[in-house]
Amino acid sequence: MTRLTLALMYATDFSIRWSIASCRPCVPDVVLADRFIFTLIARGVVRGINRDYMGGLYAMALRPHLTFWLNVRPETAFGASSRKRKRSVIGRRGGHVAFARSDWSFIRYQTMIKREFEVMAKRHGLSSWTARPAFPP
């Protein structure tokens, strides 16, 4: 499966979910969503797909009035992830972008995602909230 095929599959899945959610008769005033379109766009860009192309895939999605991302150091995220589970999800380690399945690959991939969110914060007005670990490593 190519990187573009994977991105198109994610976009198709999102589009189906979006169309189902939009058909509801009553649209709430407040919606909290974890990993909305910006995460999908960032992952596609990190995989090597053009940023504008990725943005176009999600043009049908309603843009939120407020979007924020938790700005966490990848090393901190790695500590939290490794404490939660012994085996991390391949996608969070960058296994789908040909990184090795190692601790270093997790940090490298998350660093690339973080950089893309920094770009999107400037382009789309995302608010950055700095997150610190609740418990020291």
Give pLDDT tens digits for 46-73. Answer: 999 999 999 999 998 877 788 888 888 8
**Is 136 inside any structural domain?**
no
**Is 21 inside any structural domain?**
yes
SS3 assignment, position 128: strand
**Is 137 inside any structural domain?**
no
Provide the β-strand partners of residue 21: none
Contact between 95 and 88 (Cβ < 8 Å): no
pLDDT tens digits along 70-100: 888 887 777 655 545 544 444 554 555 555 5
Q: What CATH number did the domain enclosing 12 receive? A: 3.40.50.300
**Is 59 inside any structural domain?**
yes
Using alpha carbons only, give the angle 2, 40, 110 rounded to the nearest 5 degrees: 90
| Contacts of 33 by beta carbon, 8 Å cutoff, 6+ apart | 64
pTM: 0.73
For 12-36, letters b (16+ CB in 10 Å) and e give eebeeeeeeeeeeeeeeeeeeeeeb
Residue 45 belongs to what domain range?
3-130
**Is 135 inside any structural domain?**
no
**Is 84 inside any structural domain?**
yes
Give the number of domains in the chain.
1
